[in-house]
Structure 1
Amino acid sequence: MGYQDKQCEERDVVAFHARLSKDQKNLKEKDIVVFGTVTLNTAKAYNPTTGKFTAPNKGHYSFTWTIASSPGARFSTQLVINSKPVSYCHVDGKTGGNNYETGSSTVILKMEKNDVVSILVYGAGELALWDWSSFSGFKL
């Protein structure tokens, strides 16, 4: 008997992380928030052009997104799976002071192959700051 160090095979990993590539200003209700600067996309399941994640296979997935906004601006979002709302995140820089505000949300979903997840504007989409706002996910 002996110990054997084995690496996880990359082909089984589904994970991505992306940031806004520019400020998002005055978006309308249900516009997709496109996180265009990708830092990780192992299964190529996240599309930085459309802002959509498509499950490459069935399983449980975890998603987290963070939105940053400047003083005087609001930005509310919802995570949707196949166009159905699942979770929300609200950032309100209008509530006082000169503070930059951030909000984050995390959700775990049971997904089928080809289910689609995206972040949509929910109500106010005044200003989301690039590089400070991100979207990530991975298969458990």
Structure 2
Amino acid sequence: MAVSVTNIGVWMLFILGSGNLIIADNVEHRLGWLEELAAKVETTVDTNIDQLGKIDQRLHRLQHGATQEKVKLRRATDPVIGFDTQLHLRAAGSHLHNQQALIFNHVRTNQGGAYNAANDSLESLASTVDAIAVANGEELKTTEDNMDEKMKQYHKEIMSINRRASHHNQIGFYVRLTNSSSGADHVTKVQPVKFDFVITNQGGGYNEAHGKFTCPVNGLYQFATTIPSAARAIIDCGLVKNDHLLARLHGNTKGYDQASQVLVIECAAGDKVWVRHLHGTHDSGRISTHYEWATFSGHLIAAL
């Protein structure tokens, strides 16, 4: 039993000693981690201080650069005039006469050439300033005159452009078919209807010899036509652009049946628009010319 108690005591001492060793090891490990963390924090602080120092230096350089730019700008815009002189009595003489002007004979700075040692410096400076003012005034007057002349030229160019644009927008025609005394006109099969009586031809786009309208400019155009059949006749026509049929007109009832079309189309400069006889079924090829019924018109809505 005594041996058991002794063993128990030894084991307790061993356990307690081991526990102390473990605690000591944990404490040492934590101290090492804290020291490592402190070193990292110190390094980060040093890095931040260095970066702040660089930023501060850059800010000072920018401020200095801005100051230098202001100085350059002031020098460029303001006339630099100034002088710094000294009076050397030995060179000028030790005695001054009554009412004699005091001449500073040693010139150290004479920016702008205003000071003249042979004359009164203030009068010389004033005359120089007056000369600069006069020169600047003359230059300003010349600049204003040039600007006025340029404005007049720009105004003339704008007026010319407006006139040309207005001329381009003044495009239109209105024509009728009246070339038959018998009251009916025979049109050729599958050929343009030649409206011979020109009432309006602003821009000169319509050609009565061919019966076609040529678009002078790119734009949006409106065209309209009315084709009446003659007495006891049927007529079949179409509105054509560059040989492409856009719309058909058919006077179907025998005796003065009118067919009309109104179109709004986009055309390019040089496109041709006309009315063509289509020669359909039972077509007589006769268009009535009574009472100005047969008409063809068009105009530019807007240039594109």
* Matches for 1:1-140 after TM superposition, within 5 Å: 9=166, 12-22=169-179, 23-25=184-186, 27-28=188-189, 30-94=190-254, 99-123=255-279, 124-130=283-289, 131-140=292-301
State the 1:26 CA deviation.
Answer: 5.2
Structure 1 residue 10, shift from structure 2 partner: 5.2
CA distance in structure 2 between the aligned counterparts of 1:120 and 1:102, rounded to whole angstroms: 16
Is the CA contact (8 Å cut-off) linking 2:169 and 2:300 kept in structure 1? Answer: no
TM-fit CA distance, 1:21:
2.3
1:46-67, CA deviations, whole angstroms, 9 ceiling, x for partnerless residues? Answer: 1111001000000010100001
Residues 79-116 of structure 1: CA distance to partner in whole angstroms, max 9, x if unpaired? 1111111111111233xxxx521111111110000001
Count of matched residue positions in the alignment of Structure 1 and Structure 2: 128
Q: Does the 8 Å CA contact 1:74/1:125 hold for their aligned counterparts?
A: yes
Residues 1:57 and 1:125: Cα distance change in structure 2 (over 3 Å): farther
Pair 1:81–1:125, CA change in 2 (3 A): farther
Decide which structure has greater strand share. 1
| SS of 2:199 mapped into structure 1 | strand
- Taking a change above 3 Å as real, the CA distance of residues 102 and 33 of structure 1, as seen in their structure-2 partners, is same
Once residues 198 and 250 of structure 2 are traced to their aligned partners in structure 1, the CA distance between those partners, rounded to angstroms, is 23
- Runs of 4+ aligned structure 1 residues displaced above 3 Å come to 8-11
Gaps of 5+ in 1: 1-7
| TM-score normalised to structure 1 length | 0.83
**Which letter maps to 1:109?**
I
Which structure has the higher relative contact order (CA within 8 Å, separation 6+)?
1
Tell whether the 8 Å contact from 1:26 to 1:125 is kept in structure 2 after alignment: no
Q: Which has the larger radius of gyration?
A: 2
TM-score, normalised with respect to structure 2? 0.40
Distance 2:272 2:278 in 1: 18
Query: CA, structure 1 residues 125+49, in 2 after alignment: closer, same or farther (shift >3 Å)?
Result: farther
Equivalent pair of 2:172/2:202 in contact (CA under 8 Å): yes
In structure 2, the partner of 1:3 is: none
C-alpha displacement at 1:125, in angstroms? 4.8
Give the C-alpha shift of residue 24 in structure 1: 2.1
Q: Give the superposed CA RMSD.
A: 1.8
Please tell me whether the aligned partners of residues 221 and 298 of structure 2 are also in contact (alpha carbons under 8 angstroms): yes
2: distance between equivalents of 1:93 and 1:126? 14
